[in-house]
Amino acid sequence: MPLLVMKFGGTSVADLERIRNAAQKVQREVERGFDIIVIVSAMSGRTNELVGWVEQTSPLFDAREYDAVVSSGENVTAGLMALTLQEMGVPARSWQGWQVPINTTDAHSAARFVEIPRDNIDRKFQEGFKVAVVAGFQGIGPDGRITTLGRGGSDTTAVAFAAAFGAERCDIYTDVDGIYTTDPRITSKARKLEKIAFEEMLELASLGAKVLQTRSVELAMRYKVRLRVLSSFEDTDENSGTLVCDEDEIMESKVVNGVAYSREEAKITLVTVEDRPGISAAIFAPLADAGVNVDMIVQNISEKDVGDRPGSVTDMTFSVPVNQVERAKRAMEEARASGHISYDELIVDTETAKVSVVGIGMRSHTGVAARMFKALADENINIKVIATSEIKISVLIDRKYMELAVQALHDAFGLEAA
């Protein structure tokens, strides 16, 4: 019997009416001849509520007990979904992570998958059950304790099950009807994509697109799991949504397929750092140890003497999320105090945003950067930092120009046209 994985996010199961709506979509797939593994998130807002209770009870909480509490939201949804399906005449059974079992590492609140044995669920399918409803976001560690996978972990759970069970596809039901060329809230010209390559989706997810969790896309790309993103709130068929798939399934891709943005970016510059072997490691190792997510990096070299420091010096500029600025400043100040690095000044600009163009077509086309920079120049938008990869170009700009930049780039690459 062919198998399909269906994942429903928090807004898709926010109340009993929406759970029933999701169950009807599952029932239709059963009627089409599929065995189904349904992965569910907690009801919308429930995880935040549970986290709040933990923090109020114990500000310096035990991570094991944190996982025990916050994982309970998915358990409730799984049981309600199974009950709803049973009432509709669909043979269904709910599963918590430890019952499968979903074996993970012991990194509580940030666990990773080790193994998902098929035996228990396969046995239930053989007994005549048509749907296994699995609580997402959770597993069981080597010590037998409940673990959680971090925010967005239900997406990753769905992809992991699709890989483990050889599913034909993994359908991600959410509150949008697919992947768009950019955020439709910024430009009405945004177009829903029929297909997008794994690599493009991974770049878009890492650059700020919120539709899919980055780890889930990484896992799907590694195991060639075909993903479909579609809406829980619309009637759907086999052609609905956007298919995230291998590049080979896409007949011909546009040079640029999407424009992504990240609003909350900050630029940090270390002025007159000594230019010597190992200086980059001396700067970025303390940042990594402090958990700072460094993205774009630019080094400017100036040949001059600075005080009693003869020879060349450099200014080092990098971007970090705004909410990590204080952590980054502290790490740099401690590194300077310990003598590992020296600099004259640390300058922070918290009013920046990152805008990126993404497309696998960049591999075989030239002039993308020139076209991008001209579009921004035509709008009098100054570029502060540039970073590139094989299928991406990102720029850091003043935040007040972010929406204008997204619109200009969307127009410049003709993304409104199919």
Consult the annotation and say whether 10 binds a ligand: yes
Give me the residue label for tokens 């011909």: 252
- Please give the biggest Cα pair distance in the chain: 82
State the DSSP H helix or E strand holding residue 147, giving kind and residue range, or none if neither. strand 146-148
Consult the annotation and say whether 174 binds a ligand: yes
Give me the residue label for tokens 């500000």: 59
Consult the annotation and say whether 254 binds a ligand: no
Task: Give the C-alpha separation, 272 to 316, whole Å.
Answer: 8
Consult the annotation and say whether 74 binds a ligand: yes
The dihedrals phi and psi of 189, each to the nearest 5 degrees, come to: -80, -5
Judged on CB neighbours under 10 Å (0-12, 13-18, 19+), 231 is middle
Consult the annotation and say whether 7 binds a ligand: yes
Consult the annotation and say whether 130 binds a ligand: no
Consult the annotation and say whether 8 binds a ligand: yes
Task: Check whether the bond before 2 is cis (ω within 30° of 0).
Answer: no
Consult the annotation and say whether 175 binds a ligand: yes
Task: Give the C-alpha separation, 254 to 413, whole Å.
Answer: 9
Q: What are 259's strand-pairing partners?
A: 357
Consult the annotation and say whether 113 binds a ligand: no
Task: Give the C-alpha separation, 395 to 252, whole Å.
Answer: 26
Task: Give the C-alpha separation, 307 to 354, whole Å.
Answer: 36
The dihedrals phi and psi of 390, each to the nearest 5 degrees, come to: -60, -35
- Label the pairing between strands 138-140 and 92-95: unpaired
Q: Which residues contact 54 (CB under 8 A, 6 or more apart)?
A: 61, 65, 66, 69, 70
- Annotated binding-site ranges for substrate: 47, 74
- Annotated binding-site ranges: 7-10, 47, 74, 174-175, 180, 185, 210-211
- Annotated binding-site ranges for ATP: 7-10, 174-175, 180, 185, 210-211
